[in-house]
Amino acid sequence: MTDPMTSADGAAAEPRHPQQSPEKAAVGTSRRDLLRGALLGGVGGLVVGAAGGSVAGRTLISEDVTDTIDLSAKYPFYGQRYQGGVATEPQRHCVFATFRFAPSAGPKDLQLLLARWSAAIAVLQDGRTVGAVEPTSALQPPRDTGEAYELGPASLTVTLGLGPSVFGDRFGLARFKPALFSDLPALNGDFLDPKYTGGDLSLQACADDPQVSYHAFRNLSRIGRGVVIPYWTVLGFGRASAGPGQQTPRMLLGFKDGTRNIKTDDELNRFVWIDRSDQPWLDGGTYQVVRKIRMLLETWDADRVGDQQQIFGRDKLEGAPLTGTKEFDTPDFAARDAEGEFVIKPLAHIALVAPENNGGIMIKRRSYSYTDGLAADGSLDAGLLFVSYQNDPQLFIRMQNRLGANDLLNEYIRHIGSGIFVVPPAPEEGHYIGEALFA
Ligand code: HEM
């Protein structure tokens, strides 16, 4: 296979930032002055509406909104047990893409594609281009499209997943299919649009610079031309917990998302990483579930804050459970108010999926906001690119069936896209993702 220090097609890889030694690059600016200016200018819209208890009258100006990020930071690709982009601290931007096989693609094409993609991902995560940006001959296009030249690695991780169809008859790989792996069944809450459903392969390219993640997706799809065809993509954004002192990000409904999530190695080992699978090639892998969830933002924005808080079971600004005062307080699902009613409603989002009420199970959520602009009726077309990782697809299926049937949030969301993929372990240097399937 291709030398990892060269491009996916054998050309010498170029440094993407040849004259820069890695340095801390400060991006983003404080919005404090802007907000202050707006307030002094008499814009009152920054004050949260009075309905809804604890947030009444509080403003959204934070005392410390300084934002720095190191765009020279990078993640190694080889020699890791697990692929990046799963346990990795979420970067700020993400391109999630699925691909379908070209009608003519056969087993050798798939093998070569996985080898070439692996070599290219290693180079991209290192902050280099996948080949010369300048054409080597006037008769040929450049090997790299060039838009990430000099941008730095920006903590890029590319996570490659294989769909259930990989293990069908087409490639002769049926004997490698893990027993737990098949297409997702119909689930409660499905409003799936075939345009955003399924796929033979997936690529999740996350980085702290949107152009770096898009460049990775674009050049990988270019390398795959003739073997795979891009099927559906989602561009995700969101201020993630990048850098010291960053807070839990908020999604477009305005609440913090990620307060209670898998964080420790013990939780990762119990619920995320596959170990002692019926398919030994998969140990160190995980199952990836993606859902494109449209939010009905106009309806949500007309709802009272107090009601919004009941829907999640959490306070909007602090993110505390309604039974506590601080974000990381443990929710008390048995607590009742003076009238004897549950403080956190049993059908609130967190009550339905918290491990306390769900046989102790957890999943690793790694979601981003997305927008597709405006819908045909002029409404805001936006929502959540929900991505979860778990070592058994049933963990997601159980949770979504509970949510889809009961969640107070259902009035405001629609699951319009879906896919499931298995993420093999990361390769050693000189090897490629999924190589064991072709041994
Ligand atoms: C647009 C859709 C969704 C939104 C806006 C949303 C938002 C939230 C928010 C605000 C929280 C509370 C903060 C936190 O602990 O992270 C939360 C928690 C959680 N959500 Fe969602 N979520 C969505 C969909 C889903 C789906 C589809 C699943 C799984 C099938 C899910 C599983 C969870 C879990 C497991 C928790 C942690 C509960 C706990 O342990 O307390 N969410 N979500």
Assess contact for 338 and 374: CB atoms under 8 A. Answer: no
Which numbered atom of ligand 1 lies nearest the CA of 260?
15
Task: Tell me what pLDDT residue 439 has.
Answer: 83
279, 281, 283, 284: CA torsion to nearest 10:
-150
Task: Tell me what pLDDT residue 69 has.
Answer: 86
Q: Is the CB of 312 under 6 A from ligand 1?
A: yes
Q: Whose CA is nearest to atom 8 of ligand 1?
A: 257
Percent of the chain with pLDDT over 70: 83
- Mean pLDDT value across the chain: 87
Task: Tell me what pLDDT residue 54 has.
Answer: 44
Q: How far is the CA of 335 from the centre of ligand 1 (A)?
A: 21
Strands 286-295 and 380-390: antiparallel
Task: Tell me what pLDDT residue 24 has.
Answer: 31
Q: How far is the CA of 225 from the centre of ligand 1 (A)?
A: 37
Tell me: pLDDT of 189 over 80: yes
Which residue bears the tokens 């989002």?
A: 349
Pocket test for ligand 1, best of 192, 256, 349, 414 (most atoms within 8 A of CB): 349
69-111 confidence digits (pLDDT tens): 899 999 999 999 999 999 999 999 999 999 999 999 999 999 9
10-39 confidence digits (pLDDT tens): 344 444 443 322 223 333 333 333 333 333
Task: Tell me what pLDDT residue 247 has.
Answer: 81
3-state secondary structure of 129: coil
Tell me: pLDDT of 377 over 80: yes
Which residue bears the tokens 């990046």?
A: 84
Pocket test for ligand 1, best of 386, 389, 395, 397 (most atoms within 8 A of CB): 386
Is 50 a domain residue?
Answer: no
Confidence of residue 6 (pLDDT cuts 50, 70, 90): very low
3-state secondary structure of 414: strand
Q: Can you give the residue range of the structural domain that contains 188?
A: 93-438
> Residue range 409-417: average pLDDT?
98
Task: Tell me what pLDDT residue 25 has.
Answer: 32
Is 389 a domain residue?
Answer: yes
With CA atoms as reference, report the closest residue to 75 among 219, 279, 242.
242
Is 40 a domain residue?
Answer: no
Tell me: pLDDT of 5 over 80: no
Tell me: pLDDT of 59 over 70: no
Q: How far is the CA of 222 from the centre of ligand 1 (A)?
A: 35
Q: Give the total number of structural domains in the chain.
A: 1
Q: Is the CB of 293 under 6 A from ligand 1?
A: yes
Is 178 a domain residue?
Answer: yes
141-177 confidence digits (pLDDT tens): 888 898 999 899 999 999 999 999 999 999 999 999 9
Lowest mean pLDDT among 46-55, 77-86, 318-327: 46-55
Is 190 a domain residue?
Answer: yes
Q: Is the CB of 386 under 6 A from ligand 1?
A: yes
3-state secondary structure of 222: helix
3-state secondary structure of 161: strand
Pocket test for ligand 1, best of 190, 248, 252, 257 (most atoms within 8 A of CB): 257
Q: Whose CA is nearest to atom 30 of ligand 1?
A: 400
Integer CA distances (angstroms), 344 to 20, 92, 306, 319, 347, in order: 53, 31, 12, 13, 8
Q: Is the CB of 353 under 6 A from ligand 1?
A: yes
Instruction: Report the predicted TM-score, pTM, of the whole model to 2 decimal places.
Output: 0.88
Assess contact for 287 and 425: CB atoms under 8 A. Answer: no
Give the separation between CA 249 and CA 386, rounded to whole angstroms. 14
Q: How far is the CA of 401 from the centre of ligand 1 (A)?
A: 13
Is 57 a domain residue?
Answer: no
Confidence of residue 139 (pLDDT cuts 50, 70, 90): confident
Find the length of the chain: 439
Q: Is the CB of 292 under 6 A from ligand 1?
A: no
Tell me: pLDDT of 232 over 50: yes
Q: How far is the CA of 350 from the centre of ligand 1 (A)?
A: 6
Give the separation between CA 198 and CA 194, rounded to whole angstroms. 8
281-317 confidence digits (pLDDT tens): 999 999 999 999 999 999 999 999 999 999 999 999 9
107-125 confidence digits (pLDDT tens): 999 999 999 999 999 999 9
With CA atoms as reference, report the closest residue to 357 among 368, 344, 366, 370.
344
Which numbered atom of ligand 1 lies nearest the CA of 384?
1
Write the DSSP string, 248-313.
Answer: PPB-TTSSB--SSS--SHHHHHHHTS--S-SSGGGTT-EEEEEEEEEE-HHHHHTS-HHHHHHHHT
Query: Taking the mean position of all CA atoms in its chain, how far away is CA 232?
Result: 15
Q: Is the CB of 259 under 6 A from ligand 1?
A: yes
Tell me: pLDDT of 321 over 90: yes
Q: Whose CA is nearest to atom 43 of ligand 1?
A: 257
Task: Tell me what pLDDT residue 61 has.
Answer: 57
Confidence of residue 133 (pLDDT cuts 50, 70, 90): confident
Query: Taking the mean position of all CA atoms in its chain, how far away is CA 180?
Result: 22
How many CB atoms lie under 10 A from the CB of residue 104?
A: 8
Is 59 a domain residue?
Answer: no
With CA atoms as reference, report the closest residue to 266 among 345, 362, 336.
362
Give the separation between CA 364 and CA 354, rounded to whole angstroms. 13
Is 76 a domain residue?
Answer: no
